Amino acid sequence: MVVSLAAAVALTAGSCAKSEDDTASDGTSSAAADAAQKVASPAPGGKTCTVDAYGGAKSDLKTATVGFSQSEKEANPFRIAETQSIEDEAEKRGVRLLTANAQSQFSKQISDVQDLLAKGADLLVIAPLNSDGWDPVLQAAAAKKVPIVTIDRKINATACKDYVSFIASDFVEQGRRAADQMIEATGGKGEAAILLGSAGNNVTTERTKGFKDRIAAKAPGLEVVFEQTGDFAREKGQQVTEQLIQSKPGIKGIYAENDEMGLGAVAALKGAGKKAGDVEIVTVDGTRNAVQGIVDGWISGVVESNPRFGPLAFQTLDSFTKGESVAQDIVIEDSAYTAANAKAGIGRAY
């Protein structure tokens, strides 16, 4: 069972994601969630972790060195905002932070984390590129009794043994919400395509599952006729969309599993002489350029994937090092953008 941020704020079991109308009305729910961001105090039944159970000793975050390992190169606003959030929170708390960026190469991320340990990191926050292949790092961190908090993508390891907590969006719910926006935009009929994220991580599999399950349940008249990875990259998203509109000229909707690929799709459609609205595009992240795409009529909807993990990550570390119980799974709240709130809400985009 995950402990949602809503649970933290409302101290009752809350849903994992806000509905559009909560966000569409005033566009402040994400700001409210950001402002109220704090580690979810474990809801009854939510699995928890303590420093005693994990192994290690209580410590003082204020005198510790935190190592942050970022996965992808900071060309994607999601990564820029994510790193900024970690850096801002460390500065706000006066915590010494070491950072490393793996430039989207998994072997480099493994060596980055080994490097952070060698440089004396007492605690680690990791934004994993892949879900598998972490054993060398987990063993090295365990040997030095360095606790790990993972953010964003899940690693296939054991909570409260290999890592303390996992803080992320509900990616299946993001897929469902994208499907709802796609059904709304297309009337639930016609041919749709999916620009898949990169392989080897739970985000791609869960966003795809959420989308397909919702379409099957609510709009069987909408048929997914094309799926191909764009590797979460704008250029590849454009290339794949160029192939798509050649092979499926009647395509009605494109679900891009991140904004960068969605913006690549827009570029491809423009290059093919299409007009805004000829093809309905729904994307996930909540970057400024994509929300501007809604204002400009090229994108129908954007489901946010909130990258602002800083407050939650550091509050988890603070509580854990003090010996308090922290939730093993923490869900960060995502908002969403549609034509109804894009203009008013673009200031919240990153």
Residues at the contact surface with ligand GZL, assessed by CB under 6 A: 72, 76, 78, 152-153, 169, 203, 232, 258, 260, 284-285, 305
Nearer to ligand GZL, 50 or 131 (CB): 131
Helices in 11-74 by DSSP H: which ranges?
20-26, 29-35, 51-54
Q: What is the DSSP string of 268-303?
A: HHHHTTPPTTSSEEEEEE--HHHHHHHHTTS--EEE
Of 290, 314, 308, which Cα lies nearest the Cα of 300? 290
Nearer to ligand GZL, 67 or 77 (CB): 77
At its nearest, how many Å lie between ligand GZL and the CB of residue 131? 11
Decide: 13 and 341 in contact? Cβ < 8 Å. Answer: no
Nearer to ligand GZL, 48 or 181 (CB): 181
At its nearest, how many Å lie between ligand GZL and the CB of residue 128? 9
Query: How many angstroms separate the CA atoms of 13 and 186, rounded?
Result: 34
Nearer to ligand GZL, 214 or 234 (CB): 234
Query: How many angstroms separate the CA atoms of 279 and 277, rounded?
Result: 5
What is the number of alpha carbons within 13 Å of residue 81 lying toward its C-beta? 17
Nearer to ligand GZL, 23 or 204 (CB): 204
Nearer to ligand GZL, 23 or 48 (CB): 23
Q: What is the DSSP string of 117-136?
A: HHTT-SEEEE--S-SS--HH
Of 236, 272, 274, 279, which Cα lies nearest the Cα of 257? 236
At its nearest, how many Å lie between ligand GZL and the CB of residue 152? 4
Nearer to ligand GZL, 191 or 227 (CB): 227
At its nearest, how many Å lie between ligand GZL and the CB of residue 260? 6
Nearer to ligand GZL, 72 or 162 (CB): 72
Decide: 102 and 108 in contact? Cβ < 8 Å. Answer: yes
Nearer to ligand GZL, 232 or 320 (CB): 232
Residues in the chain: 350
At its nearest, how many Å lie between ligand GZL and the CB of residue 146? 23
Query: How many angstroms separate the CA atoms of 37 and 30, rounded?
Result: 10
Helices in the chain by DSSP H: which ranges?
5-10, 20-26, 29-35, 51-54, 77-93, 106-118, 135-143, 171-186, 202-218, 234-247, 259-271, 288-295, 310-321, 342-345
What Cα–Cα distance (Å) separates residue 182 from each residue in 47, 202, 232, 248? 35, 22, 19, 18
At its nearest, how many Å lie between ligand GZL and the CB of residue 323? 30
At its nearest, how many Å lie between ligand GZL and the CB of residue 226? 20
At its nearest, how many Å lie between ligand GZL and the CB of residue 170? 11
What is the distance between the terminal CA atoms of the chain, rounded to a whole angstrom? Answer: 29
At its nearest, how many Å lie between ligand GZL and the CB of residue 153? 5
Query: How many angstroms separate the CA atoms of 342 and 149, rounded?
Result: 33
Q: Is 87 exposed, middle or buried (0-12, 13-18, 19+ CB in 10 A)?
A: middle
